[in-house]
Amino acid sequence: MGVVVTHTTLSIDSTILFQPPTGDVWEWFNDVSWEFGELARDLAPPRRSSARHGTWATGRMQAGIRATAPVAIGAKTLEVNCSSSAPYSIYVLRGTARQGTRWIYTSHGWKNKGEVNRWLKEGGEFLQFEKGYKGFAMPVSRIPFAKGPIVLRVRGQRPNPFLQDAYRILSHRHAALPRMDFDRAGDFAEPSPPIAPWPR
């Protein structure tokens, strides 16, 4: 009696799944990287801002947010990076003046904070420009180079960690990514309207 074949065995070298540009894992992670960049741009100013007096935007920050294509750093390990190239990105990501809890002065005002604070107690927060305040005062405007109120100090800005928050949202969408939870319930919810995952 002959041998009856009752099963077939398949084997595969799974490293091919991680190879560009057609490996299944590489293609999926490339889509995730695109999604990462879109989320970061959506969460960056001016779309999400904590500015107290409104905001203006040149689009420079959003235009400088880039997510890379996956790069192999091992046979079965891929890496992508999402970054912001605007020179002031660090001040947006981390906030200024103790994350918005303290004041920003001009250089001259910083050296003479006691005097500046005394003037403010006497005259209120917004002052008309006078010769005596030269070097201490700065204009504040929602529009670059436009005339605005003259102030002796401004509050720092609260942090907007748009790169970290983009990853947080991404890690809740894709089970394969290491999960990062939100600091407080309800913080950094999905943008409205939410960005649809990249179609495959």
pLDDT at 47 over 70: yes
Band (pLDDT 50/70/90 cuts) for residue 27 is very high
Band (pLDDT 50/70/90 cuts) for residue 134 is low
Domain ranges of the chain: 14-96+158-173, 103-155
Q: How far is CA 172 from CA 41, 144, 177, 181, 194, in A?
A: 18, 38, 8, 8, 13
pLDDT at 23 over 70: yes
Whether this prediction's pTM lies above 0.85 is answered by no
- Dihedral (Cα; 12, 13, 17, 22), 10-degree rounding: -80
Mean pLDDT of the chain: 77
pLDDT at 198 over 90: no
Q: Mean pLDDT, to the nearest integer, of 103-128?
A: 70
Q: How far apart are CA 26 and CA 77, in angstroms?
A: 10
SS3 91: helix
